[in-house]
């Protein structure tokens, strides 16, 4: 496989091979970071820091077939470190989705607000599963969680979102009556 050859070259210090690898994955890195950070500058900082860390530590990658997983894992750790360092509360705001807005902007806003009430690890699981279309196995690999934990996070998130949205609907319903 071409990617595996590039990884072997990059592990030996070939910067051009590493650049080709990053170019192949830059869109995924950017989209993943943007889903979580929702600020262009923060997203670019996180991706840049991730690429730097990956370049420094590529020799530690044991299995070339897990390069993408390894890279996204570095990105996720970088995002969490940025949040901790700055003490910022970065709200979950998925990419601009015109379909949701066109359908019903109020429901979209309610969903975003409900998502913000979830624990950051559960938010991340939701983002990867529903907005990046990652499988449960892939989320487990990238976050270091067991597949059962990923399933539990998804179950808890759906339950919490349902309760939060029902509570909101009841509140809205009472104000209409």
> Residue 127: which domain range?
98-176
CATH number for the domain that contains residue 160? 1.10.10.10
- Find out whether 166 and 114 touch, Cβ atoms under 8 Å: no
Task: Count the domains in the chain.
Answer: 2
Is residue 76 domain-shared with residue 43, that is, in the same domain?
yes
Is residue 77 domain-shared with residue 110, that is, in the same domain?
no
The first and second tokens of residue 87, run together, are 């003490």
pLDDT tens digits, one per residue of 21-79: 999 999 989 988 887 787 899 999 999 999 999 999 999 988 888 898 889 889 988 98
Query: Last residue of a domain, which of 39, 58, 86?
Result: 86
68 vs 73: CA distance, rounded Å: 8
Q: How many CB atoms lie within 10 A of CB 14?
A: 15
Is residue 57 domain-shared with residue 106, that is, in the same domain?
no
Label residue 99 by pLDDT band (50, 70, 90): very low
Query: Last residue of a domain, which of 37, 64, 86?
Result: 86
pLDDT tens digits, one per residue of 114-142: 777 788 788 888 878 887 778 899 888 87
């Amino acid at each position: 496989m071409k990617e595996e050859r590039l990884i072997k070259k990059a592990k030996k210090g070939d910067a051009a091979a590493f650049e080709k690898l990053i170019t192949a994955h830059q869109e995924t890195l950017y989209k993943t970071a943007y889903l979580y950070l929702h600020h262009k500058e923060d997203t670019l900082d996180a991706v840049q820091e991730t690429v730097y860390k990956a370049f420094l530590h590529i020799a530690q990658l044991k299995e070339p077939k897990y390069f993408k997983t390894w890279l996204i894992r570095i990105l996720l750790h970088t995002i969490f470190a940025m949040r901790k360092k700055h003490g910022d509360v970065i709200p979950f705001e998925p990419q601009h989705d015109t379909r949701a807005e066109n359908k019903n902007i109020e429901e979209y806003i309610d969903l975003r607000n409900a998502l913000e009430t979830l624990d950051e690890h559960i938010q991340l699981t939701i983002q990867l599963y529903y907005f990046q279309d990652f499988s449960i196995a892939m989320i487990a690999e990238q976050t270091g969680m067991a597949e059962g934990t990923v399933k539990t996070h998804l179950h808890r998130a759906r339950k919490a979102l349902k309760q939060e949205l029902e509570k909101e609907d009841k509140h809205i319903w009472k104000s209409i009556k």
